[in-house]
Copies of this chain bind each other. A is one copy, B any other.
Amino acid sequence: MTRPDCRSKLMEVGTQLFAERGLNGVSIRELSHEAGASISMVSYYFGGKEGLYSAVLQEQFACFDQIGEIMEQHAGPVDKIEAYIRWTIQRHRNNPHLLRFYTSELTNPTTYFPRIVAPAIGKVIRILVKVVEEGIRERVFRQDAHAVNAVLALAGMVNYYFLSTLATEDLISHSPDQDEQLIHQYREIFTRGILASAP
């Protein structure tokens, strides 16, 4: 049997608490107590409270590196859009904390925003903009579409859904089946809208 591993336990508890209440909403006293460790362990392993937060943030946003490969596995703008939706939904399912760090850093940026968060988000947005521009060029998407606005709309649609569930968790139960429905719904709204007839 392995040791309880104080360091990773601090990461685990830090992730949970920082996600729920933000950097300033958590004291290292409560955090270390929750982890069953002494207060000094945070400074010992991470150089301080902010160091732990920084480590947690880096771990949370590491998955954004995948987006490049994910996109390459699909051809054509519409398929890539669906791939992005699917990837985002699975990301939120696999890690329910990520969205909190995401929006919390967007809304009230810490000093780590420029180094960790902004590049991660920027990378995804930039790739998606290229996808939409590709779609416009190939005349799959409308010629009057504004690529940046469209991408922000898409990202907003998908992320905001989960943001809503954070506050009203009772509203939406989830199963793999319902996720497929959700993916379908959002792809349809983004590509075809919700009008019954074509203009």
- Residues of chain A touching chain B, judged by Cβ–Cβ distance below 8 Å, are 20-22, 24-25, 78, 99-100, 103-104, 106-109, 113, 118, 121-122, 125, 132, 135, 139-146, 148-150, 152-153, 155-161, 163-164, 166-168, 171-172, 181-182, 185-186, 188-199
Residue among B142, B157, B159, B182 making CB contact with A196, cutoff 8 Å: B142
The smallest C-beta distance from A91 to any residue of chain B, in angstroms, reads: 16
Q: Are A192 and B192 closer than 8 Å at their CB atoms?
A: yes
Q: Which residues of B contact A122 (CB under 8 A)?
A: 168
Q: Are A139 and B196 closer than 8 Å at their CB atoms?
A: yes
Ordered by A's residue number, 27 sampled pairs between the chains whose C-beta atoms are within 8 Å are A20-B108, A21-B108, A22-B24, A99-B107, A100-B107, A103-B163, A104-B108, A106-B164, A106-B167, A118-B168, A132-B194, A140-B196, A142-B194, A142-B195, A146-B181, A148-B171, A148-B172, A149-B186, A150-B185, A152-B157, A152-B160, A153-B160, A153-B186, A155-B160, A156-B156, A156-B157, A192-B199
Q: Which residues of B contact A100 (CB under 8 A)?
A: 107-108
Q: Which residues of B contact A185 (CB under 8 A)?
A: 145-146, 149-150, 153
8 further A-B pairs in the complex, CB-CB below 8 A; given A21-B24, A142-B195, A189-B190: A24-B24, A24-B25, A106-B164, A118-B167, A142-B188, A142-B196, A150-B189, A192-B192
**So how many copies of this chain end up in the complex?**
2
Q: Which residues of B contact A24 (CB under 8 A)?
A: 21-22, 24-25
Contact A161:B156 (CB < 8 A) given known A103-B103, A194-B141, A195-B140: yes
Q: Which residues of B contact A152 (CB under 8 A)?
A: 157, 160-161, 164
Which residue among A106, A159, A171 has the maximum number of chain B CB atoms within 10 Å of its CB? A106
Q: Are B157 and A153 closer than 8 Å at their CB atoms?
A: yes
Q: Which residues of B contact A107 (CB under 8 A)?
A: 22, 99-100, 103-104, 107, 163, 166
